[in-house]
Amino acid sequence: QVHLVESGGGSVQAGGSLRLSCAASGNTHSNNCMAWFRQAPGKEREGVAAIYSGTGTTYYSESVKGRFTIFQDSAKKSGYLQMNSLKPEDTGMYYCAAGWTPVAAGTCDRSPGLDWGQGTQVTVSS
């Protein structure tokens, strides 16, 4: 099992930037997928980005493509989500998740089970 702790959330104005961090500890070497999800009040959770460490392949949802960048350190101990050109609709609780998956698809869609962090709040004002 992997323990994940997010940080870096906060309040910014539209057009601003934030970098979220996800510190991983535990059995990280068995994982090959890390993803970021977000959930706004009253809305379903949305997968926004993922990185597959075996190939370096990345995935982004259409809503964040071109504005967000996911990356990970080589030891897979930490993951990051660089968020630029933030919009009010980016507001929500952001969660980091990690696990193993046999196939690189979406935000670790094929993983039989993901470990999750506790989340960090991002608020973007207009």
88-97 per-position pLDDT tens digit:
999 999 999 9
- In whole angstroms, what is the distance from residue 126 CA to residue 113 CA? 37
Q: Is the dihedral of CA 18, 122, 8, 113 positive or negative?
A: negative
Segment 55-78 shows an average pLDDT of 91
pLDDT of residue 54: 80
pLDDT of residue 117: 97
Q: Evaluate whether 36 touches 95 at the Cβ level (below 8 Å).
A: yes
On the question of pLDDT at 77 being above 90, the answer is no
pLDDT of residue 72: 92
What percentage of the chain carries pLDDT values higher than 70? 99
